[in-house]
Structure 1
Amino acid sequence: MTDLGEFLRVRRAALQPADVGLRGYGARRVPGLRREELAMLAGVSATYYARLEQGLSANASEAVLDALARALELDADERAHLLTLARTPARRRSRPRPDTIRSGMLRLIESMPDTPAVVLGRRSEVLGWNALGHRLVAGHLPFASPHRPAERPNMTRLLFLDAHTRELYQRWDDEAQRAVSSLRVLAGRSPDDDELTQLVGELTVQSPEFARLWARHPVAVCVSGTKQLRHPEVGDLAVAFEVLTPPDDPGSRVLFYSAEPATPSAAALDLLRCGSVAGLPAQTLA
């Protein structure tokens, strides 16, 4: 089954007839809408829809995809993901070169010592961070690790497989949902990325929680929000995040963190900032 077919199947299974104004008849061997029910709602033939879900039909029109999105009650991010899956041709896989951070970008975030900043690559790997960003999200790791491709931290891998990172998030379940939703969007845009496929395979095998979330096929573009942290150095704090994407490098993202002024969270971030200015622990600089 193709990625498109899997997405359609999972979302079809998540809807019950009553959810879309249909009356269910008879016992159902599998949960959710039947193929013919979804096809009727979308105004396409059951045979055509079945072939689309099975990966036997390509080049579905935008009108058909829009009709399916409405029938499945997809939101804007999910509809965009559906169109991406339908429009992205299969390509021969190749091993891409490791992403790199531009020296100008690194200087930029280093010139902002009062604002935690982290630069991520296409697969959520850390390409660089400033001192405060490092101390906020991964102070237990070597500061220089992003500059060594073989040792680069990956924020999604850390979230599911690293005990320190897991303990950092007060609402770990929300953070995990957000991470998998973002990873699904990235995977839809880069179906030929071997390293991304390997990351998903590794997490599926090593984390039952990741495997369950991935199977649900959640989709969301997360560009801002709030993270509730329980930091090992400064205690509980809430930080807002904003994600900026360089226009000439849509694969990378820059995360900036901030705290509401005159709040306990701002005081905690100030305390962490003082520690960053004073100097990081010796083991983090290794």
Structure 2
Amino acid sequence: MAANLIGEFLRARREQVRPEDVGITVNSHRRVPGLRRDELALLAGISTEYYTRLEQGRDRNPSAQVLDAVARALGLDREASAHLHDLADPAHRRRRAPRRTERVRPTVTQLVASWDRTPAYVQGRYLDVLTSNRMAVALSPIYTPGTNLLRAALLDPAAQALLDVSERNIGGLIASLRAAAGADVDDPRLTELVGELSVKSDVFRRLWSRHHVRPQPGGGVHHMHHPQVGEMELRYDKFVVAGAEDQLLVIYQAEPGSRSAEALALLSALAGDMA
């Protein structure tokens, strides 16, 4: 039987809506987390019977209007609403041909390698490092090609010592993984990664079950403690690689004239000495 993608998503998100936040009075004897099915159906303006069929997977072709109403009742943002529509699209539920191994164009690899003072790497659809330069690896071995960034953040003590791996940041990575995967649950790479992390990490298992969906931000700041050059505050930007499905070019920079810029320059010199 095909996976009940819509039902899993709706149930997880329904359980995270606090009744009092949508004007429903609760008492101390309430046994279910979040909203009940009948409460959500009322908020969405549909019958409880229909919503129950939808969540149980007995109605796999809801209208766009129904999905929009349910999304509003759940308080979904634009990304999560789009994900719900994606799950309900029959075209996305057909078994797809296996994806080919993700590869970076040689010209992009050459460009990344040419930056000898700027850490940079390309990550793939499932947060695998596909290519990186010497400075990125000097920043951390987790940027070595072949490393999965989510696995490293959850399971690698070296990564946890270097980066901020708070639950909020881990949750953001997991939400971006869901956004990239969409309804393509049969992808072998995704199945392997989710299976491994579900067994090895309680944090992953709990956050994955929440079904949060959010594409990766285009940039931000990483606070790092490097074992050789000390504390660094680095800005990062992520750029979509044109013509490559779901590949992002990630570049780190320091504020000019800052202590972090000095540390990055020292790291560049050390990386050159080790070359």
Q: TM-score, normalised by structure 1?
A: 0.87
CA gap of 1:135–1:4, structure 2 versus 1, over 3 A, is: farther
Displacement after TM superposition at 1:92 (Å): 2.8
- The 2-side partners of 1:2 and 1:246 are apart by 33
Instruction: Tell me which of 28, 31, 41 is aligned to 1:29.
Output: 31
- The 1-side partners of 2:168 and 2:67 are apart by 29
1:86 paired to 2:88 = yes
Aligned to 2:106: 103
User: How many residues are paired up?
Assistant: 271
Q: Secondary structure at the match of 1:89?
A: helix
- The 2-side partners of 1:174 and 1:233 are apart by 27
Q: Secondary structure at the match of 2:92?
A: coil
Matches within 5 A, 1:160-239: 160-223=154-217, 224-239=219-234
Q: Secondary structure at the match of 2:93?
A: coil
**Which structure 2 segments of 5+ residues have no match?**
none
- The 2-side partners of 1:62 and 1:265 are apart by 50
Superposed CA deviations along residues 1-54 of structure 1, whole A, max 9, x for unmatched, are: 622211211111111221101223683332111111111111112111111111
Displacement after TM superposition at 1:264 (Å): 1.8
RMSD: 2.1
Q: Could you tell me the percent identity over the aligned residues?
A: 41
Instruction: Tell me which of 123, 128, 138 is aligned to 1:125.
Output: 128
**Which structure 1 segments of 5+ residues have no match?**
147-151, 281-286
Q: Secondary structure at the match of 2:176?
A: helix
1:256 paired to 2:251 = yes
Aligned to 1:275: 270
1:116 paired to 2:96 = no
Displacement after TM superposition at 1:93 (Å): 6.0
- Answer whether contact 1:91 1:192 (CA < 8 A) is retained: no
- The 2-side partners of 1:238 and 1:173 are apart by 20
Displacement after TM superposition at 1:199 (Å): 0.4
Displacement after TM superposition at 1:219 (Å): 1.9
Aligned to 2:72: 70
One-letter code aligned to 2:193: L
- Answer whether contact 1:243 1:254 (CA < 8 A) is retained: yes
Aligned to 2:240: 245
Superposed CA deviations along residues 149-187 of structure 1, whole A, max 9, x for unmatched, are: xxx211111111111111111353333122111111122
- Answer whether contact 1:203 1:210 (CA < 8 A) is retained: yes
- The 1-side partners of 2:268 and 2:125 are apart by 28
Displacement after TM superposition at 1:274 (Å): 1.7
Q: Secondary structure at the match of 2:53?
A: helix
- Answer whether contact 1:93 1:194 (CA < 8 A) is retained: no
Instruction: Tell me which of 54, 60, 71 is aligned to 2:56.
Output: 54
- Answer whether contact 1:125 1:153 (CA < 8 A) is retained: yes
- The 2-side partners of 1:189 and 1:239 are apart by 34
Q: TM-score, normalised by structure 2?
A: 0.90
- The 2-side partners of 1:171 and 1:194 are apart by 26
